[in-house]
Structure 1
Amino acid sequence: MILSVSAGQGVWPLIAAVTVTLFAGFVKGAVGFAMPLIMISAFSAFLPPEVALAGLILPTLFTNLSQAFRQGGGPAQATAWQYRRFLIGTVVFIAIAAQFFDLIPRVAYLLLLGVPVTAFAALQLAGVPLALRLEHRNRAEWGVGVIGGLYGGVSGIWGPPLLVYLLSVNAPKLEAIRAQGVVFLIGAVALLVAHLGTGLANAQTLAFSAALVVPAQIGMVLGYRLQDRLPQARFRRWTQALLVVTGLNLVLQALVA
C-alpha cells in the first residue's frame, strides 16, 4: 500500500507530502525550478531519507516533461539544440565525475557550489551587472556545462550552474523556463534509471511517488497562470531571489553535515 512507505505512520505523512508537493509544483510552474529542493527539504522532516528521495522522482519527471514541451515539440527540440553545449558538457562530465563520488567530501562540493551561486545571485539582486558578452557565450556554455556535470556527478545537483548561465545571458522568460525543463527532464530520467538500479525506486516507493504526480501537476498548472502574468523583469528578480535561497540551502547543508 502507498501508506506503508510512510514508515507505518498512518495517513498524515501522505497528506503532508501531498501539500508540500502541491506548493513545490506551484513554485516550479511560476519560475521553472526549485521543486526538488522544496520537496527534499520538507520531506526529510517527516519521512525516511530513502522515501523522501524516491518520492520526488516521478513528480520531477512528469513536471519537467510538461515544462519542456509546454509550447510543443518543435520549441523543445530547438531549445535542446540551442543549449546543446551545456547538455553535452553536463551529461559527459556527470558520467566522469560519478566515478569519483567517494573521493570528494560532501561538505567541500556543497560549499564550492553554494557560496559562488549565492554570491552571484545576490550581486544580481543588488543591481551589479554580470551579463556575458556575446562573443564569450559559447565558451561560457561549455564551461558551465562541464561545471554542472562535475557537480552533478558527485552530488546530483546540476541546476544552479544552468540558472547562473541563463541569468548571465539574460535569457527571455519562456526560453529560460523551457531550457530548464529540457535539461532537468534529462536529469530526471537519469535519476529514475539510476535508482531502479540501486533498488531505491521499487514498487512501494514508486507507488508513493506516483501518488504525488497529480498534486505536482495541479501545482504546476496554477503556477503557469502566475508565470504567464509575470513580466520579464519581475520573473528575473524572482529567479535571482530563489537562486539565493538555493545557494544558502546548499551552504546550510554543508555546515550541518
Structure 2
Amino acid sequence: MPVVETPTLHTLLAYTVIIGFAAMVHGTVGIGFPMVATPLLALVTDVRTAILLLVLPTVVINVGNIIKGGRWDRSIAVYWPLAVYGMAGSFVGTRLLVAFPAESFRPLLAAMLVLYLNAERIGVGFGWVRRHPQIAFAFFGLTAGILAGTVNVMLPALVMYALEVRMPKTVMIQVFNFCFLFGKLTQGAVFVQAGLMTSDVVGLSACMAVLGATVMFLGMRIRERIPTATYRRWLRRLLAVLAVMLVVQSLRLWFG
C-alpha cells in the first residue's frame, strides 16, 4: 500500500509556500486552489500524495468560500445536479487513482492544465448544452468528477459548462466551490476506505488546512483592491509553465 513518506524540512517549507500561494490565489479570485496547488505539489512529490494531502485544505477552503459568498442557496437550487454527478465521477476517478501507479496521471494533469487554458476556445460549439440541460449536467458533472478524482482538477469541464450557459461570475464561483466540496468529500471517503488517510497524513493535511484558510481570508480582504484581471493573467501564465514542466518530468520518467 502506498504511504506518504515523512517530509524533510525543505519539503515542509515547499509545502508551506505552495499552500500559501494557492490559497491567496483562491481568496483573491474565488477559485483556483486545487488547480494551482496540485501541479506545484506534484513537482515536489508524486501526484497521488499531492492529492491526498490536499483533501482537508480543499474542503475547508471550499466551505469558507460558500459561506462567505452569501445567497449561495439560490445558485445551488439551480445547479445542484452538477455536484451530484460530480460526486459519482469523483468516486470513479479516485478508485482509479488508488488502483494505478500515481505517475501515470502526471501527463493527464498537464493535459488538464492545457485544456483549462484553452477552455474558452474549446467551449465554442457546445450549443446542445442549453437545449439539453439534464444531459449537460450528467456529461460535465461526471467528467469534472473523474478529473477531480484522478488529477484533482475539476475546472476545465466546469468552465466550459459555465461559459456555454452564460453563468454569472458570482454564481460561477459559488457553484464551482460547491462542486469542489462534494467531490472532495467523496474522494476523502474513498481514501479512508483504502487505508490511505493515516494519522500522519491527516496531521500534515490539517496543518495545511489551517494555513490555507488563514491565507484565503486575507486574500478575500484584498480581492476588491487588486484587479482580478491581473491575477487571472499571471495565473494562466503560471499554469502554462507548470504544464510544460509536468510534461518534461513525464518524458524524463518514460525515457529514463
The TM-score normalised by the length of structure 1 is 0.72
Distance 1:255 1:109 in 2: 13
C-alpha offsets along residues 148-187 of structure 1, whole Å, 9 cap, x if unaligned? 2444455443332112222333432321111111111111
Which residue of 2 is the match for residue 60 of structure 1?
58
SS of equivalent residue, structure 1 residue 227: coil
What is the number of equivalent residue pairs in this alignment?
243
Q: How does 1:86-105 map to 2 (within 5 A)?
A: 86-95=82-91
Amino acid of the residue matched to residue 163 of structure 2?
L
Which residue of 1 is the match for residue 173 of structure 2?
177
Contact 1:173 1:235 in 2 (8 A): no
Contact 2:75 2:174 in 1 (8 A): yes
C-alpha offsets along residues 127-149 of structure 1, whole Å, 9 cap, x if unaligned? x9889699437254443223324
Range that drifts further, 189-198 or 138-147? 138-147
Q: How does 1:205-224 map to 2 (within 5 A)?
A: 205-224=201-220
Contact 2:36 2:239 in 1 (8 A): no
Contact 2:107 2:247 in 1 (8 A): yes
1:40–1:130: structure 2 CA closer, same or farther, 3 Å change rule?
Answer: same
Contact 2:23 2:213 in 1 (8 A): yes
Which residue of 1 is the match for residue 118 of structure 2?
119
Range that drifts further, 26-35 or 84-93? 84-93
Distance 1:54 1:96 in 2: 16
Amino acid of the residue matched to residue 36 of structure 1?
P
Which residue of 2 is the match for residue 167 of structure 1?
163
Give the superposed CA RMSD: 3.9
Distance 1:61 1:151 in 2: 17
Which residue of 1 is the match for residue 38 of structure 2?
40
Contact 1:54 1:206 in 2 (8 A): no
Distance 2:137 2:234 in 1: 22
1:39–1:80: structure 2 CA closer, same or farther, 3 Å change rule?
Answer: same
Distance 2:161 2:21 in 1: 26
Range that drifts further, 151-160 or 24-33? 151-160
Amino acid of the residue matched to residue 31 of structure 1?
V
Q: What is the Cα deviation at residue 198 of structure 1? A: 2.1
Contact 1:26 1:219 in 2 (8 A): yes
1:44–1:155: structure 2 CA closer, same or farther, 3 Å change rule?
Answer: closer
Which residue of 2 is the match for residue 136 of structure 1?
131
Q: How does 1:228-247 map to 2 (within 5 A)?
A: 228-229=224-225, 235=228, 242=235, 246=239
Structure 1 segments unaligned to the other structure (5+ residues): none
C-alpha offsets along residues 63-120 of structure 1, whole Å, 9 cap, x if unaligned? 0110122134xx33332221123223323344456677779x7588557755544333
Range that drifts further, 86-95 or 106-115? 106-115
Contact 2:94 2:149 in 1 (8 A): yes
Q: Does 1:200 align with 2:199?
A: no
Contact 1:108 1:254 in 2 (8 A): yes
Amino acid of the residue matched to residue 91 of structure 1?
M
Amino acid of the residue matched to residue 213 of structure 1?
A
Amino acid of the residue matched to residue 184 of structure 2?
A
Distance 2:44 2:204 in 1: 14
Q: What is the Cα deviation at residue 36 of structure 1? A: 2.0
